[in-house]
Structure formats: C-alpha cells, structure tokens
Amino acid sequence: MLDLASGLSQADIMTAYHFSFCGTQCAALPSGALHLPDHDVLCVSDLHLGKSERIARRSGVMLPPYEVRETLEKLQADIAATRPTQIICLGDSFDDLEAAARLDEEMLLWLAQLQAGKTWIWVEGNHDPGPINLGGTHRSEIKIGTLSFRHIATAMTAEVSGHYHPKHRVAGRSRPAFLYDDCRLIMPAYGAYTGGLVSLTPALRQLFMRPPIAIMTGHKAIPVPVP
C-alpha cells in the first residue's frame, strides 16, 4: 500500500518516493535503485554492463563505449547518498559472462572500490547465469527482512525482481519505472543502454493481482496508478 514514511526532509520527499511494501520500508530512488533504510541495503537491477562490447563482438555494430562508465557513475552517486552496508545487484549485471571478463582495468578497479567494505551480492540473471571473478557473493536469490529478491518473478509473494525492464508512459513521455502492488515489486533496468517493456503489456500485467502502481524515475521518483 502507498504511504509516506514520517520524519523525512523536504529534499528526500522531492527526490525519492518512500513507501511500505509487504511490511518493509522502501525508497524508490529517481535513478531506479531501491533503498531499504532499515536494513542498510541498496538494490539495483539489470545493469547490463558491457552491452556495447557484447553487441560489437556478436554483430560488429559499434556503439559509443560509455555505458559502463555512465552506469557506475550513477551507482557511485547512489552509494554515496544512501551509505548502504549491503548492495544487491539483482541479475543481468553483465550483458553476458564474457562481457564481465572483458571489462577494462579502469572499470574493474572502479568496481572494486565500490565494493570495498560492503557486503556485495550478485544475484544470477538470465544474461549472467554463473559466477564471475569480480568479488562479492553469488546467489540465485536472497531474503532481506520480509522480502525475497530474485531476478525473474515467480508465484511467490513479498517478492522483488527485475528482468522485464518496465517503463511507464504519461503524457507522451516514457520513463523506466518500478511496478508494484500488495505482493510484488518489479525493478526498472538500471543500466545506461537498456531498453524497456511498457507497463500495459500483458506480460507485465498478468504478474500483478491488481493494477499496479508505477513509480516513474527521472529527476524525482513519482508514483502513478497504472490504468
């Protein structure tokens, strides 16, 4: 259900959207990250690091190779703002396992610096289904408080997942969006070069018990009922 947490600064209210989901206090950040302040957890999904390299390797199509830097810059800013002790990367953190192995030295060092002093969980996705040699712990799923975190939605309740890259459109403008109801929360894609699936598509609508709330990302996180 929708309810604002108490005791927040006006700056907090103007940027993140604070709500309770299945008994856990959550903050949907404008970047597309999810913060669980009572557990010192920051969760991001579908970074798809190395996408430009993977596309070039497989098809020969060259994209500007800046998506890793742009995504890590955003993640660094969210870590600095929320100061989590644990970070969950909710699957498809890399565009494939070879992309993880081909990150250049500067990006590897940057990632290691972000991990320093934190519990870092790589949840396996369909693009990166096996362990990678980049530190952290690899899990198929993880439970924090009342919530279960996995990459692809199941029939479980109190579940946070990713995979679908949901987007929502209002007044002709489409933005990556969180989608949630009383039982399920689906994260937007966090990566710079990721596409998206419109919130009204049957593949997404069938996952929810009732029409979900879309929390649109951008300059601030804004909740919008999905019709």
Query: Residue ranges of the domains in the chain?
Result: 10-225
Report the percent of the chain where pLDDT is more than 90: 66
Q: For the chain, state the CA radius of gyration.
A: 17
86: amino acid identity, one letter: Q
pLDDT tens readout for residues 167-226: 999 988 899 999 999 999 999 999 987 878 999 899 999 999 999 999 999 999 999 999
pLDDT tens readout for residues 80-118: 999 999 999 999 888 777 777 778 899 899 999 999 999
**Contacts (Cβ under 8 Å, ≥6 apart) of 26:** 18, 19, 20, 34, 35, 36, 185
Reported as a pLDDT band with limits 50, 70 and 90, residue 8 is: very low
pLDDT > 90? residue 146:
yes
Distance CA 83, CA 62 (A): 36
| pLDDT of 43 | 98
List, as one string, the DSSP characters of 50-110.
Answer: THHHHHHHHH-----TTHHHHHHHHHHHHHHHH--SEEEE-S--BSSHHHHHT--HHHHHH
User: Pairing between strand 159-161 and 147-150?
Assistant: parallel
HSE-up (13 A, CA, CB side) for residue 77: 12
Contact between residue 149 and residue 161 where contact means Cβ atoms under 8 Å apart: yes
- Domain 10-225 fold: Purple Acid Phosphatase; chain A, domain 2 (3.60.21)
